[in-house]
Amino acid sequence: MSMPTQGPGLDSGHAAGAPHTAAQVKGSSIGELMRQVTTDLSTLLRQEVELAKAEIRQEGRKAGKAAGLFGGAGFGGYMVALFLSLALWAGLANVMDAGWAALVVAVLWAAIAAVLYSMARKNAQRVRGLRQTNESVQRIPDALKPHPEGVTR
């Protein structure tokens, strides 16, 4: 049972980019089908770009808030570390020369910095990107492959 074609769409019940039945596709000209594929691809690409923009905005807001909080916590932690370092230096200066005490504190901070750098590098490698966009873009080629059984809608 074939549906009649009308105007620029395949029938009045389907807008451009809407799914079609096998009978509708079989009754269409190559030109109509190519126009439909072009329209569908254009719509798909626009939607993917919009999805990517939305993900970037969402992740950017989260990252910005986290960065601000980490900045405040970092400054507080810096002040604590500074005064604890000064206290350790003063305490070690009672047991050894002040210069050596300062060197011991500096070496201790170098070791802490190396461990923190290593941890930060591992975490930076785990940052997720545009997961939803990547997943949907990977599915696009399957939609473009010919299906020998034809359209089954």
**From CA 7, how far away is CA 149, in angstroms rounded?**
28
Please write the tens of the pLDDT for every residue from 9-64: 444 444 554 556 777 777 788 888 888 888 888 888 889 888 888 888 888 888 88
**From CA 6, how far away is CA 8, in angstroms rounded?**
7
Please write the tens of the pLDDT for every residue from 49-102: 888 888 888 888 888 889 999 999 999 999 999 999 999 999 999 999 999 999
| Dihedral pair phi/psi, residue 96, rounded to 5° | -140, 180
Q: What is the per-residue pLDDT for 103?
A: 96
Q: What is the per-residue pLDDT for 11?
A: 43
Task: Give the lowest-confidence range in 1-5, 16-20, 30-34, 133-137.
Answer: 1-5
Q: What is the per-residue pLDDT for 10?
A: 42
